[in-house]
């Protein structure tokens, strides 16, 4: 039982509210038993440390494997350590995987594929929602550009409800070239979600077997070069006077329509 906040083993969990870029960290923090269970079940990710109360450890013990360091502490100490109470007395550090450039060639041999491209999705919660939506609607891969929020940030992982462990991910400098690579590999259509005059109503479209979707920030939309790399522009029909949905809501509607 750890009862000293100065214990060096607690360093990765200190003040998780701090708004700093943790992309350079070798691990990321996963919170809550539900997300940690998914991390332990998907061996593509390596769980390094679990910090939890005795009650939470009892539920996780059947899933623990050799090499996972187990730290027991009171809920009060964990709250003081992290600075918030949304962890439900259970946190873990998970080793970050190496994300390679996207390889779309395996998708060419499948009867169906869906790839989502995210451009400048800067809010971590929106990235988490996008991950969860992709997983829910059977997306083959999510490709994010480097200006998007870190998919392994604490808020993104929490919002994604652990689906980050099961969804293939790739990070690219720009999504435009990746869109072109996906189209060449599979013959796919790629739809850009826009509000421009060239946008076609979503309810008038039928997605082919191989299809991609590009979503971006609500404020500025997609880059012209990104839109030019796509097959067509689509928009969600909305009530008069309504302007747009954020990427979390819009991607759910779009992916449902493309399923």
Report the pLDDT averaged over residues 137-160: 95
pLDDT recorded at residue 3: 84
Burial class (CB in 10 A: 0-12, 13-18, 19+), 72: middle
Tokens of 207: 């997605």
What's the CATH fold of domain 105-258? Alpha/beta knot (3.40.1280)
pLDDT recorded at residue 108: 95
Distance CA 213, CA 233 (A): 10
**Residues in Cβ contact with 248 at an 8 Å cutoff, skipping those fewer than 6 apart:** 125, 126, 129, 130, 133
| 84 or 73, which is more confident | 73
Distance CA 167, CA 104 (A): 15
Burial class (CB in 10 A: 0-12, 13-18, 19+), 199: middle
Q: What confidence category does residue 38 fall into, taking pLDDT thresholds of 50, 70 and 90?
A: very high
pLDDT recorded at residue 119: 97
- Asked whether the predicted pLDDT for residue 18 surpasses 90, the reply is no
pLDDT recorded at residue 13: 87
Distance CA 75, CA 140 (A): 38
194-220 tens-digit pLDDT:
987 888 888 878 899 999 999 998 778
For residue 219, how far is the Cα from the chain centroid?
20
Q: Report which DSSP code applies to 164.
A: G
Residue whose pair of structure tokens reads 């590009």 in the numeric block: 214
pLDDT recorded at residue 19: 60
165-200 tens-digit pLDDT:
999 999 999 999 999 999 999 999 999 999 878 888
The pLDDT mean for the chain works out to 92
Q: Which of 163, 141, 136, 137 is nearest to 152 (CA)?
A: 163
86-130 tens-digit pLDDT:
667 899 999 998 888 999 999 999 999 999 999 999 999 999 999
Q: Phi, psi at residue 176, to the nearest 5°?
A: -55, -55
Distance CA 187, CA 180 (A): 10
Tell me the pTM: 0.92
Q: Which of 86, 90, 85, 82 is nearest to 10 (CA)?
A: 82
* Domain at 8-95: CATH architecture: 2-Layer Sandwich (3.30)
Tokens of 136: 């829910």
pLDDT recorded at residue 218: 76
| 257 or 243, which is more confident | 257
Tokens of 197: 């005059």
Q: What confidence category does residue 83 fall into, taking pLDDT thresholds of 50, 70 and 90?
A: confident
Q: What confidence category does residue 20 fall into, taking pLDDT thresholds of 50, 70 and 90?
A: low
Question: Do the domains 105-258 and 8-95 match in fold?
Answer: no
Q: Which of 126, 151, 139, 123 is nearest to 247 (CA)?
A: 126
Report domain extents, the chain. 8-95, 105-258
- Asked whether the predicted pLDDT for residue 248 surpasses 90, the reply is yes
Distance CA 28, CA 157 (A): 9
How do strand 113-119 and strand 169-172 relate by DSSP bridges?
A: unpaired
């Amino acid at each position: 039982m750890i009862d000293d906040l100065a214990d060096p083993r607690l360093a990765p969990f200190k003040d998780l509210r701090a708004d700093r870029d943790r992309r350079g960290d070798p691990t990321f923090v996963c919170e809550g038993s539900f997300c940690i269970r998914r991390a332990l079940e998907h061996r593509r990710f390596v769980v390094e440390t679990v910090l939890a109360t005795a009650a939470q450890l009892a539920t996780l013990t059947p899933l623990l494997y050799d090499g996972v360091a187990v730290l027991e502490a009171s809920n009060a100490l964990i709250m003081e350590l992290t600075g918030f109470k949304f962890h439900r007395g259970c946190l873990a550090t998970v080793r970050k995987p190496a994300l390679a450039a996207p390889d779309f060639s395996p998708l060419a041999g499948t009867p169906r594929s869906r790839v989502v491209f995210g451009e400048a999705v800067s809010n971590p919660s929106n990235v988490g929602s996008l991950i969860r939506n992709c997983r829910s609607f059977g997306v083959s891969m999510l490709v994010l550009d480097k200006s998007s929020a870190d998919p392994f940030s604490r808020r993104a992982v929490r919002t994604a409800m652990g689906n980050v462990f099961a969804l293939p991910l790739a990070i690219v400098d720009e999504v435009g070239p990746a869109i072109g690579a996906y189209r060449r590999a599979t013959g796919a259509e790629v739809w850009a979600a826009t509000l421009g005059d060239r946008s076609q109503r979503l309810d008038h479209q039928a997605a082919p077997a191989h299809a991609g979707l590009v979503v971006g920030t609500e404020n500025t939309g997609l880059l012209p070069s990104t839109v030019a790399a796509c097959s067509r522009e689509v928009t969600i029909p909305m009530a008069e006077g309504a302007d747009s949905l954020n990427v979390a809501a819009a991607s759910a509607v779009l992916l449902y329509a493309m399923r």
